Structure 1
């Protein structure tokens, strides 16, 4: 499981500038720059699509789809936004398209209870896996806009300004959504701890 802790802001700004430079060089046809661009942003994209899609097993395919789309439109990328912000906007569209396709696809299973079968097929014992699933479950309790603001700033590590540009809303709105998301998560955790204490 990938760490959900964002890098310190100064390191992230430097990494963003470097990734953007690699994206621009890759646009010019430099294969080494393309490789560096993917390596620099792969973890961020994978983390983001995992939480947006709610499907850790599909996340690698969505990440691959995101980079395929990015390289298909790299000739139009001019570096006005950081490469990471640009790539995450592509990732969001990839997830949305995947969810739309899944909504119209018929579900077929050889078992009466397909949900139990899917849960039984989930990997176990991976470092950080259970914590990641717990966080995913907690995030599902949030309204969509608060969840996205929280993910962008606290998980992916965008600044509030970058998240505002990405979400198309004022910075104050992002701050408010993150604050309310934190309060909501804390409330759910307190309720779960209280229920656990009563059960114990």
Structure 2
């Protein structure tokens, strides 16, 4: 007997394939713009920044950057990228290249501060987490901030999850960016997903505030 869930599964598979194709096409375009910008095309610079600003902003936020400095870190990332465009050869996608620069910018900001920035306990963090939240993820739309759940993960698992599940990087590219084997990235993602699902389950079971008032 055919499972009633089969059409939905096929539809999800089709959407996943379309999303993957769209990301591949977008990566090809941004890489072309990066190469053109390297050769002096000012319009290509504008296209590149517009196309990748959102991903860079989300990445530095999800890595735990202070929300008040996330915009500064994104700007710093693009300034670093534009300053090193002459070295970009297109061996990786422009998006992967920019995210690797963003990662270094975050690490440098931690070193400069000599202490890890606060991740929570501020209204500003709550706002940024909600704004950055991906609405297409099942289970994360019912008043539960994905940013808060991600903040509770170990750094390496959070980074692997963000790169592959939220920003859509292939596991191989995420592994190269994180300087670790592909299998390690897959393991980190699996563990992050399990932790997030447990946290989501616990949050959904928790009694709503004011229910006993």
Of the three residues 61, 71, 78, the one matched with 1:60 is 71
Give the alignment partner of residue 184 of structure 1, picking from 195, 198, 201: 195
Q: 1:111 is matched with which residue? A: none
Contact conserved, 1:54 with 1:136, CA < 8 A, in 2?
A: no
Task: Give the corresponding residue for 1:119.
Answer: 122
Please list the CA deviations of residues 148-193 of structure 1 after superposition, one character each: whole Å capped at 9, or x if unmatched.
1101011111111211121122222211111110100111122223
Given that 2:175 and 2:182 are in contact with CA atoms closer than 8 Å, whether structure 1 keeps it comes out as yes
Contact 2:156 2:188 in 1 (8 A): yes
Matched, 1:154 2:157: no
Consecutive unaligned residues of structure 2, counting only runs of 5 or more, are 1-15, 135-143
2:48 matched to 1:37?
yes
Aligned residues: 185
Give the superposition deviation at 1:195.
3.1
5 Å-filtered alignment, 1:89-100, equals: 89-100=100-111
Please say if 1:78 is aligned against 2:89: yes
Confirm or deny: 8 A CA contact 2:65 2:106 kept in the other structure.
no
Query: Is 1:165 the counterpart of 2:176 in the alignment?
Result: yes
Query: What stretches of structure 1 of length at least 5 have no aligned partner?
Result: 1-5, 106-114
Q: What TM-score results when the alignment is normalised by the length of structure 1?
A: 0.81
- Given that residues 33 and 45 in structure 2 are in contact (C-alpha distance below 8 angstroms), is that contact kept between their aligned partners in structure 1? yes
2:59 aligned residue: 48
Q: TM-score, normalization: structure 2?
A: 0.76
Report the RMSD for the aligned CA atoms in angstroms: 3.2
1:123 deviates by 8.5
CA apart distance, 1:14: 0.8
Q: Note closer, same or farther for the CA distance 1:51–1:166 as it changes in structure 2 (3 Å cut).
A: same
Select 1:8's aligned residue among 8, 19, 22. 19
